[in-house]
A and B are shown apart, each in its own frame.
Chain A
Amino acid sequence: MNQIIANTSILSPLLPIVVFLFLKKRNNRKPLWVIFIYLILTFLFDAVRSVTQDQFLEFYLFRAFTVIEYFCFSYYLYSILTISFKKWLIPLVGIFIIVINIKYVIGVEIIEEFDAVTTSIEAILIILLSITYFYEVIQRNTVSIIYANKSFWIVAAMLVYLSANLFLFITSKYLTPEERNFYWFINDTSNTLKNILFTIAFILPVSENNQPKKEFHSYDEHPFLN
């Protein structure tokens, strides 16, 4: 059963990739291309990992993949968020993740199969950014339906995937290899679900971006002389 779930997870990125290529015209936006590239890399990483089963290769792949995943997701969120918050935090955390990974790669004292710290940081930050996006959606004064929007499905995919995996990432350091293999189906299932949600996003037609309504001028600001 677990093998079926794992294989489905490995093959699942192909679905959004094919849909994206078929409906390229309606997805021809830079942030969506980033997601598309991310999906290709996901498929390649998982395929290589499942074929080789090499511990060293897995060690490097996990670390590289965390960095790539973080930058792809954060770039997408960065491009859709309009709120004026501290956006510089996104590349800063990215650099932090790279530094930690380099430290692990250079000072290989104990080769851990899974990079629990960086994946957990990545997951927490992307979850927070996704919540910020949803907060923005609530604040926006638009009349368009949220689930007719590509961004909604992509952010929902990221949120579901990372929130399902967060505790797996955090606790992976304390799990035995058998336990980790047993619980890895959480990752596989959420990965498949994420790819289904990405597919929905790619299928959706481009929705018109409704601008927030113009606010009324406050009379208190009148520079009035009597």
Chain B
Amino acid sequence: MFFIQISNHQSPVSLVLFFGTVGMLALTIGLIVFIIFHQRKVIRYQMRLQKLEQEQQKMLLNASIRLQEEERQRIAADLHDDAGPLLATARLYLNENLVNLDKSSQLQSIYNAKQIIDDTIQLIRNISHSLMPPTLKNFGLESAVNDLFQKISGSGSMNATSRFHEYKERLHPDTELIIFRVIQELVNNIIKHSNSSFIHLTQNLGGNKLYIRMHHDGKGITQQDFERLSKSFNAGLGLKNIQSRLRLLHGLILFEKDASQSYYKVTIEIPTNDEDE
């Protein structure tokens, strides 16, 4: 009807006006409809992503609980299998029959019992140290890492060196412990799986972030491998544990191969003054 009226006007301006207006309206409505549909698509994608993230979180939580349980079992086994028999043996030496023995046998028994108690003390100290390294507690991350690397080098299996460039102020003890555990886990993995001849660790500061990078010349993994393995249900606890620990610090980890293709690098990035802390 409107078009017929336009045609009746027979003016080219009228036609321009008619088609221009209809075209502009069509474009505007098309744009609005496109944005609505596009946004719905984006929301659906985001929801899916959130669901995946929640699943990942759940997996990490399970891994962390399993790790805690394994740690408890290990401590329980250490106490039960080592400390228990040692103390039982000491008790045997010190049982009431001791009064019936001659003086030299009594002294021998007491000496044996003392030896066993010393061993037990050492064992309990070792268990305690494995829970919280004293070097870390007393002297900080730098000393603890240097200590760990010296022990690895001392074993003769590989050359391990570490260098802290900017670690003048210690981080919070809990943060240091988490970083140390991550380094320990990474070093364990390198020793167990990489067959490398050396590990070199460096520490730096950049902005408000602490960077720790480890190099090794063995068989390593890339970021894709890490992401794949940490999402896999069958993968070991180690990588999941690294991820969950770093998540606590809002940190990031990157596995990559050196540009020369001869080394593998692992970089850890930790915010030093996290707002949430």
Interface-forming stretch among B19-27, B118-126, B191-199?
B19-27
Question: Inside 8 A of B16's CB, which chain A residues have their CB?
Answer: 167, 171
Q: Mark B108-152, 1 if CB is under 8 A from A, else 0.
A: 000000000000000000000000000000000000000000000
Residue of A nearest to B223 (CB): A219
Given contacts A145-B43, A146-B35, contact A223 B21 (CB under 8 A): no
Chain B residues near A145 (CB-CB < 8 A): 39-40, 43
Interchain CA distance A216-B29 in the complex, whole Å? 36
In whole angstroms, what is the CA distance A159 to B36 when docked?
Answer: 15
B42 to chain A, nearest CB (A): 8
Judged by a CB distance under 8 angstroms, whether A204 is at the interface is: no
14 new A-B contacts at CB < 8 Å, known A138-B38, A174-B13 = A143-B43, A146-B35, A159-B28, A159-B32, A164-B24, A164-B28, A166-B20, A168-B17, A168-B21, A175-B17, A182-B5, A219-B269, A223-B207, A225-B165
In the complex, A86 has a CB within 8 A of chain B: no
Shortest Cβ distance from A150 into chain B, in angstroms?
A: 15
B254 CB–A CB distance under 8 Å: yes
CA distance in complex: A170, B23 (Å): 14
- A29 contacts B by Cβ under 8 Å: no
| Cβ contacts under 8 Å, B46 to chain A | 141, 143
Instruction: Find chain A residues with CB under 8 A from B202 CB.
Output: 224-226
Proximity bits, A203-226, B CB within 8 Å = 1, else 0: 000000000000011010111111
**Which listed residue, A141, A156, A165, A226, touches B32 by the CB 8 Å rule?**
A156
Report if A47 contacts B (CB, 8 A): no
Inside 8 A of A164's CB, which chain B residues have their CB? 21, 24-25, 28
Contacts A164-B24, A166-B24, A217-B252 given; indicate if A223 touches B204 (C-beta within 8 A).
Answer: yes
13 contacts between A and B (CB under 8 A): A138-B38, A143-B47, A145-B39, A159-B32, A163-B28, A168-B21, A171-B16, A171-B20, A182-B9, A221-B206, A224-B202, A224-B204, A225-B165
CA distance A186 to B19 in the complex (A): 13
Q: Are A146 and B39 in contact (CB under 8 A)?
A: yes
| A161 and chain B: residue at smallest CB distance | B28
Given the interface pairs A143-B46, A160-B25, A225-B202, the reply to whether A171 lies near B13 with Cβ below 8 Å is yes
- CA A224 to CA B202, docked complex, whole Å: 9
Q: Are A224 and B267 touching (Cβ within 8 A)?
A: yes
Q: Which residue of B lies closest to A134 (CB)?
A: B35
Interface residues on B, range: 35 or more
Contact A163 B27 (CB under 8 A): yes
Taken together as a complex, chains A and B put the C-alpha atoms of A134 and B215 apart, in Å, by 47
A contact residues, range: 35 or more
A183-B17, A226-B213 as given contacts; A138 in contact with B35, CB under 8 Å: yes
Does A224 contact B13, Cβ atoms closer than 8 Å? Answer: no
Chain B interface helix/strand/loop/mixed? helix
Q: Knowing A217-B269, A225-B204, say if A167 contacts B43 (CB, 8 Å).
A: no
Q: Which residue of A has the minimal Cβ distance to B31? A: A134
Cβ proximity bits B195-223 to A, threshold 8 Å, 1 near / 0 not:
00000001010110101010100000000
- Could you tell me the distance between the alpha carbons of A64 and B120 in the complex, rounded to whole angstroms? 95
Is B14 an interface residue when CB atoms closer than 8 A count as contact? yes
- Cα A145 to Cα B42 in complex, Å, equals 10
Contact of A226 among B40, B215, B256 (CB under 8 A): B215
Q: Is A179 located at the chain interface by the 8 A CB criterion?
A: yes
B95 within 8 A of A: no
Inter-subunit contact B32/A179 (CB<8 Å):
no
A179 to B12, CA, bound (A): 12
Q: Is the CB of B206 within 8 A of A222?
A: yes
Cα A167 to Cα B36 in complex, Å, equals 26
Q: Which of B22-68 contact A (CB under 8 A)?
A: 24-25, 27-29, 31-32, 35-36, 38-40, 42-43, 46-47, 50
Q: How far, in Å, is B45 (CB) from chain A's closest CB?
A: 10
> Would A224 and B213 count as touching, CB distance under 8 A?
yes
